[in-house]
């Protein structure tokens, strides 16, 4: 059971998950980009020990996974579960500490020495911040972080300096996309220091009408202010998406129903589905459930499918490597199984 | 119950229907293109009476329908049922005699004074020829046809001179289309005096992988030879279509299944369907039934849908005029009703 399997956060009609990521670096250590293997190992060990030998109740809940010791499939699965970034998945000196339940992961030797990350389902930014902050405090007990009195936490990339925090909310905006209004939303929120990214973070694609909305600015505001600003912007976006959903349902229900039911029909009947097409279909089915058009599937089933039909997750679930052709076929089997339940 | 509702002819996996059409003209009468209204009425009356006052058992089975006395919707329905040609549907001086059961229709004042037509489900050219021939004989008892000792029956268009006969077979060739082999088939049969047309005859579109295969030459061969030639050519085409179906089923089943099941899924779930898209979907579902992939629908249901989802038929079934938007929506309702039965 991962954080994605249950969805107790609020605004579940649109919000998939909330996430906090804190970038930290260790005083006096070479930055990951310039590291030798030996130096990387030392950093991994010191962070692992900081957790392991801490006085915390969760000290033994973390598992260390080193990137060079796992297969590319296992790395891909970690990316798809949002436990590591695509970049860390490609790193040879990187590692990750993952807490039981997979709500907290600590990436090691990504761009920065540490990236503490907490992810929870639904709209609960304060909760994820609280958890990430505790882990940060725990590590700071023994690890000296690079910190400047005036600038705050020092990071590899200047865009992260200050709080080192990226707060983000994964939202599902099919109707903003359908009406093309998403573009004006992206432009408008840019002016508020907020940015929209693809589902695996910076530079990744928009898939299945899913978007990560996050703070662009890390410097000059407190963590609380950043979170509170992001929270209100997301609230505004939710309002707009809901308004369009209701308008379409009232004034153009047949076009909307057609899109939703077709997607459902294809999802149930297709025998070849790429993960991209699948995400598009799941997006509309998810909308159909929210609008009450589709009543025989639970929203959680769709949320889980959105994670589990991904290339790596699928192969992990079936416990074997598959080529694209087989995956696209097995994906449809998997979906039918889950939907018919 | 129309001729389309039952399908006792052979080769039903591919052949939808068989048809004979005989072009005849009345000696000494002005050709329809140059007719005054009065002259047209006379021709209609004389043909109607030739049937009505004949000694045949079927004399009273015919109903006369004059084009200028019915609505455009009713005319469209007759075209969609293949009881009249699109050209007759547009004529102001035309009429049609339709036999109960709708197997035989006699178009009056189309391009020629008479076009005797018989249509039956499945592959049974000899049977339709026999029926059309009897009607021809019956009419010839009282009506003097334009006939030349050397050239045979004289017709408005020289391409019909001689036998005045067009024999045609409506076939469903989704796999020849899917593999692109249909083009070489069209080229090859042209050399054998055979042609392929769209489902409403000359110059009409290919829809839903349905084709009318018919003789091009009416002169210099007997009716029996023309029919026998057409019969063997169609047999060859059936062989090729079946071969590809079997090959695809054996060597590439998943791609084929995907096309078929997707079509089925969309057909069952869509809320807006144009008649063109609908025909494409029905075509694949029909193939799926033949290949045994789809087992919960009867082939007859699909054959009926191919007729009844047409624009005119649909409005007739619902007993009212509808705009395109409403039709496309009602069409999906109608399909769900029929499929769920």
Burial category of B193 from C-beta neighbours within 10 Å (exposed 0-12, middle 13-18, buried 19 and up): middle
Q: What is the pLDDT along chain A (341 residues), one digit of tens a residue?
A: 344 444 456 788 899 999 999 999 999 999 999 999 999 999 999 999 999 998 888 889 999 999 999 999 999 999 999 999 999 999 999 999 999 999 999 999 999 999 999 999 999 999 999 999 999 999 999 999 999 999 999 999 988 999 999 999 999 999 999 899 998 998 899 888 899 987 766 666 678 889 999 999 888 889 999 999 999 999 999 999 999 999 999 998 999 999 999 999 999 999 999 988 999 999 999 999 999 999 999 998 998 999 899 999 999 999 999 999 999 999 999 999 999 87
Cα separations (Å) of B266 from A122, A152, B206, B260, B269?
32, 56, 21, 10, 5
Which chain A residue has its CA at the smallest distance from B253's CA?
A271
Q: Does the annotation flag A242 for ligand binding? A: no
Which of A254, A267, A269 is facing B329, going by the closest CB pair? A254
Question: Does residue B6 register a pLDDT over 60?
Answer: no
- The percentage of residues in chain A with a pLDDT greater than 90, rounded to a whole number, is 81
- Asked whether residue A21 is marked as a ligand-binding residue, the answer is yes
Does residue B287 register a pLDDT over 90?
yes
Does residue B34 register a pLDDT over 50?
yes
Of A265, A266, A271, the CB nearest to B254: A271
Question: Which residues touch B98 (CB under 8 Å, ≥6 apart)?
Answer: B62, B63, B65, B83, B104, B105, B106
**Would you call A173 helix, strand, or coil by DSSP?**
coil
Contact criterion met (CB < 8 Å) for B272 and A261 = no
Q: How far off is chain B from A145, nearest CA to CA, in Å?
A: 55
Nearest to A266 among B257, B265, B329 (CB): B265
Per CB-CB distance under 8 Å, the chain A contacts of B257 are: 271
pLDDT at A206: 76
| B contacts of A264 (beta carbons < 8 Å) | 269
| Chain A nearest C-alpha distance from B273 (Å) | 9
Chain B residues within 8 angstroms (CB to CB) of chain A = 254-255, 257-258, 261-262, 264-272, 325, 329
Plot region of A70 (φ>0 → left; ψ -120 to 50 → alpha; else → beta): beta
Beta strands across the sheet bearing B15-24: B62-66, B95-99, B104-108, B114-121, B15-24, B165-172, B210-215, B194-197
Largest distance between two CA atoms of chain A = 64
Please tell me the predicted confidence (pLDDT) of residue B3. Answer: 43
Amino acid A197: pLDDT: 85
Chain B closest CA to A110's CA: distance in Å?
42
Q: Which of A254, A261, A271 sits opposite B269 (nearest CB)?
A: A261
Chain segment B75-117, per-residue pLDDT in tens: 999 999 999 999 999 999 999 999 999 999 999 999 999 999 9
Question: Are the CB atoms for A45 and A93 separated by under 8 Å?
Answer: no
pLDDT score, position A15? 93
Per the CB < 8 Å rule, is A261 touching B271? yes
Residue A6 has a pLDDT of: 43
CA dist., res. B110 & res. B156, Å (int): 10
Spell out the SS3 assignment of A50-86.
Answer: HHHCCCCCCHHHEEEEEHHHCCHHHHHHHHHCCCCCH
A282 vs A297: CA distance, rounded Å:
12
Q: Distance between CA A221 and CA A192 in Å, rounded?
A: 13
pLDDT, tens digit, 9 for 90 and up, residues B203-259: 666 788 899 999 998 888 899 999 999 999 999 999 999 999 999 999 989 999 999
Do the annotations mark residue A221 as ligand-binding? no
Residue A265: which of B257, B265, B272 has the nearest Cβ? B265
pLDDT at A252: 87
Q: Count CB pairs under 8 A between chains A and B.
A: 50
Cα A250 off chain centre by: 33
Number of other CB atoms surrounding residue B244 within 10 Å: 18
Q: No. of H helices and E strands in chain B?
A: 12, 10
Chain A nearest CA to B143, separation (Å)? 56
Q: What is the pTM of this model?
A: 0.83
pLDDT at B289: 95
Interface of A with B (CB under 8 A): 254-255, 257-258, 261-262, 264-272, 325, 329
Distance from CA of A286 to the nearest CA of B (A): 16
Chain B partners of A262 at a C-beta cutoff of 8 Å? Answer: 266, 269-271
Identify whether the C-beta of residue B127 lies closer than 8 Å to the C-beta of residue B18: yes
Contact check, Cβ <8 Å, B265/A261: no
Positions at the binding site of B for ATP: 17-21, 82, 115, 166-170, 197-202
Chain B: closest CA distance from residue A329 (Å): 8
> For all residues of chain B together, what is the average pLDDT?
92
Question: Looking at chain A, which residue has its C-alpha nearest residue B265?
Answer: A265
Q: How high is the ipTM of this complex? A: 0.80
Q: For residue A9, what pLDDT is reported?
A: 61
The beta-carbon neighbor of B270 closest among A261, A271, A325 is A261
All residues of chain B having their beta carbon less than 8 Å from the beta carbon of residue A268 are 265, 269
Kindly tell me the burial class for residue B35, based on how many C-beta atoms sit within 10 Å of its own C-beta (0-12, 13-18, 19 or more). Answer: middle
């Amino acid at each position: 059971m991962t954080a994605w399997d249950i969805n107790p956060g609020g605004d579940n009609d649109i919000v998939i998950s909330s996430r906090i990521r804190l970038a930290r670096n260790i005083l006096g250590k070479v930055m990951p980009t310039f590291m030798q293997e030996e130096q990387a190992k030392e950093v991994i060990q010191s962070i692992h020990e900081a957790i392991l030998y801490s006085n915390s109740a969760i000290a033994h809940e973390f598992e260390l996974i080193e990137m060079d010791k796992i297969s590319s499939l296992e790395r891909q699965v970690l990316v798809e579960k949002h436990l590591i970034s695509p970049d860390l998945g490609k790193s040879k000196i990187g590692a990750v500490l993952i807490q039981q339940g997979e709500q907290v992961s600590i990436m090691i030797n990504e761009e920065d020495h540490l990236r503490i990350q907490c992810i929870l389902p639904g709209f609960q930014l304060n909760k994820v911040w609280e958890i990430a902050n505790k882990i940060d405090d725990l590590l700071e007990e023994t690890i000296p972080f690079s910190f400047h009195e005036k600038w705050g936490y020092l990071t590899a990339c200047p865009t992260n300096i200050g709080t080192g925090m990226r707060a983000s909310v994964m939202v599902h905006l099919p109707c903003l996309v359908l009406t093309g209004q998403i573009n004006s939303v992206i432009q408008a929120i840019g002016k508020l220091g907020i940015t929209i990214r693809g589902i695996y973070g910076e530079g990744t694609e928009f898939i299945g009408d899913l978007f990560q909305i996050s703070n662009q600015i890390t410097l000059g505001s407190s963590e609380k202010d950043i979170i509170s600003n992001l929270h209100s912007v997301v609230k505004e976006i939710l309002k707009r998406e809901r308004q369009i959903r209701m308008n379409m349902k009232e004034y153009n229900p047949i076009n909307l129903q057609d899109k939703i039911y077709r997607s459902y029909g294809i999802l149930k009947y297709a025998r070849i589905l790429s993960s991209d097409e699948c995400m598009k279909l799941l997006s509309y089915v998810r909308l159909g459930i929210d609008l009450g058009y589709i009543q025989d599937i639970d929203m959680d089933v769709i949320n889980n499918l959105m994670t589990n039909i991904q290339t790596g997750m699928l192969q992990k679930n079936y416990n074997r490597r598959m080529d694209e052709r087989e995956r696209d076929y097995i994906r449809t089997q998997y979906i039918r199984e889950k939907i018919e339940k």
